[in-house]
Amino acid sequence: DAGITQSPRHKVTETGTPVTLRCHQTENHRYMYWYRQDPGHGLRLIHYSYGVKDTDKGEVSDGYSVSRSKTEDFLLTLESATSSQTSVYFCAISDSSTEAFFGQGTRLTVV
């Protein structure tokens, strides 16, 4: 898995509560990504980072924020979780000339 660790792997939370998902890499890759995957939609890009403190929005960024204070960590925060954010979340990393490597995913359920 190219040195990518997502935590937690599973989480159940209540509507309206804040949630933070963590992606940790040991590859020193510049780019990090957060995707969500829902039935019928494939993988959709939420946010990505092109360096420490440098982030950009993807296709479905509403309701999500991210932070990257260190090269190895990329955090995804749901400020106030909603049921529509129930999904499987994947983190990925890449370098300028490489393919993207994906983590094993975090299954989030908002009840």
* 53: contact with other proteins by CB under 8 A: no
* 52: contact with other proteins by CB under 8 A: no
Pick the binder of other proteins from 42, 53, 83, 111 (CB under 8 A).
42
- Give, as ranges, the residues between 77 and 106 that touch other proteins (CB under 8 A): 88, 90, 92, 94, 96, 99-105
Q: Which long-range contacts (CB under 8 A, 24 or more apart) does 26-31 make?
A: 26/72, 27/2, 27/3, 27/93, 27/95, 27/101, 28/71, 28/72, 29/93, 29/94, 29/95, 29/98, 29/101, 30/71, 30/94, 30/95, 30/96, 31/93, 31/94, 31/95, 31/96, 31/100
Pick the binder of other proteins from 40, 53, 62, 83 (CB under 8 A).
40
